[in-house]
Homo-oligomer: A and B are copies of this chain.
Amino acid sequence: MTEAVSRPTLEAVAARAGVSRATVSRVVNGGDGVREPLARRVRQAVAELGYVPNQAARSLVTKRHDAVAVVIAEPEARVFADPFFALQLRGISKELTAHDNQLVLLLIEGRDDHARVARYLSGGHVDGALVFSLHLDDPLPGLIQDAGVPTVFGGRPGWGDDGRAAKDPGVVYVDCDNRGGARAAVRHLVGLGRRRIAHLTGALDQTSAVDRLDGYRDVMAEVPGGNDPRLVVESDFTPAGGERAMRELLDRCPDVDAVFAANDLTALGALRVLRASGRRVPEDVAVIGFDDMLPVTEEADPPLTTVRQDIEQMGRLMARLLLRGLSHGRDRMDGRVRADGRDGTDVRDRPDGPGRSGTAVDGPGAGGVVLPTTLIRRASA
Contacts and interface: CB of A to CB of B under 8 A. Distances in A.
A15 interface: no
B124 A107 contact: no
Nearest to A94: B109
A83 to B, nearest CB: 5
A342 to B, nearest CB: 20
B334 A4 contact: yes
A80 B334 CA distance: 37
A285 to B, nearest CB: 19
Interface of A: 1-5, 7, 50, 52-57, 59-60, 65, 67, 70, 74, 77, 79-83, 85-87, 89-90, 93-94, 97, 102-107, 109, 113, 116, 119-120, 122-125, 145-146, 148, 150, 170, 239, 265, 268, 272, 294-295, 299, 301, 329, 334-336
27 contacts: A1-B145, A1-B150, A1-B334, A1-B335, A1-B336, A3-B148, A4-B124, A4-B148, A50-B122, A52-B123, A54-B60, A55-B56, A56-B57, A56-B59, A57-B60, A70-B105, A74-B90, A81-B295, A85-B86, A93-B105, A93-B109, A97-B107, A97-B116, A102-B104, A103-B104, A239-B299, A272-B301
Given A4-B335, A56-B59, A74-B90, 5 more contacts: A3-B148, A3-B334, A52-B124, A83-B83, A93-B105
